[in-house]
């Protein structure tokens, strides 16, 4: 697993942020009004010293929009809660799963083709961080987007 850390020393890259929202249902007339600008570093990274990037692999999390090749923004400073998507170290390997705290500690996939991972006291288990954002290229997702 390759961990990448954000380079926040670079000059801010602020892109236009339009006031008009894009409808995911029926189209609405376009608006020419800008809300301001958006810097993805500021939007995606709340705790720079505790944040890293990780590239996803495998199909177990497609149900929550995480596909192979996506970049995950992970914050190690957050306390993981029931239902969070987390990076966990289990039996010496890293995995991306949904954290289940009750009724029993488990790591759940977001794809019915995969089985949940029960966590036992004997296993080497450590929560490594909470996934806060997913960066994916829709044009590179095989079979998920026509293009």
Which CATH number applies to 3-9+47-140: 3.30.70.1400, 2.10.109.10, 3.30.1490.190, 3.40.250.10?
A: 2.10.109.10
**Percentage of residues in the chain with pLDDT exceeding 90?**
43
- The reply to whether 37 belongs to the active site is no
CA 90 – CA 107 distance, rounded (Å):
10
* Residue from 23, 46, 76, 97 carrying the catalytic annotation: 97
- The reply to whether 97 belongs to the active site is yes
User: Using one digit for the tens of pLDDT, what is the confidence trace for 31-89?
Assistant: 455 566 667 777 778 888 888 889 999 999 999 999 999 989 999 999 999 999 999 99
* Residue from 37, 60, 76, 77 carrying the catalytic annotation: 60
Output b/e per residue, 64-75; b: 16+ Cβ within 10 A. Answer: eebbeebebbbb
User: Using one digit for the tens of pLDDT, what is the confidence trace for 88-129?
Assistant: 998 888 999 999 999 999 999 999 999 999 998 777 889 999
What are φ and ψ of residue 43, in 5° steps? -75, -40
Q: Domain extents for the chain?
A: 3-9+47-140
């Amino acid at each position: 697993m390759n961990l990448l850390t954000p380079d926040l020393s670079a000059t801010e890259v602020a892109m236009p942020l339009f006031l008009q929202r894009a409808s995911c249902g029926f189209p609405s007339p376009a608006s020419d009004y800008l809300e301001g600008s958006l810097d993805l570093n500021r939007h995606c990274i709340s705790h720079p010293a505790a944040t890293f990037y990780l590239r996803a692999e495998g199909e177990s999390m497609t149900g929550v929009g995480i596909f192979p090749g996506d970049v995950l923004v992970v914050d190690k400073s957050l306390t993981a809660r029931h239902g969070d998507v987390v990076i966990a170290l289990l039996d010496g390997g890293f995995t991306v799963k949904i954290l289940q705290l009750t009724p029993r500690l488990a790591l759940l996939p977001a794809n019915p083709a995969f089985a949940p991972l029960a966590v036992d006291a004997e296993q080497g288990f450590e929560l490594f961080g909470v996934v806060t954002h997913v960066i994916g290229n829709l044009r590179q997702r095989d079979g998920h987007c026509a293009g």
